[in-house]
Amino acid sequence: MDVGIQTLSASHGWPGITDAQVRYELMGRFEAAPAFRFGGVPFEEAEASMRLFAEEVLPELKTWA
């Protein structure tokens, strides 16, 4: 399986859950540690990203436990 460095280190943006799926297949369970506010991202934008992650991504990750 050809896996890029980005897949093993971090996902930026969240183009889908594919990066996490590949990581899970390679390593098994892992701790997701997303950062929503960094580099001057306004609070409102970070909060919107966090809420979207919680609504769209987190439910899927929970099924992997």
Per-residue pLDDT of the chain (65 residues; tens, 9 = 90+): 444 434 334 455 555 567 778 888 888 887 777 888 878 889 999 899 889 888 888 888 888 77
Query: For residue 21, what is the DSSP state?
Result: H
pLDDT of 15 reads 52
Q: How far apart are CA 19 and CA 60, in angstroms?
A: 13
Residue written as token pair 């899927």: 60
CA atoms within 13 A on the CB side of 24: 14
Q: How far apart are CA 30 and CA 63, in angstroms?
A: 13
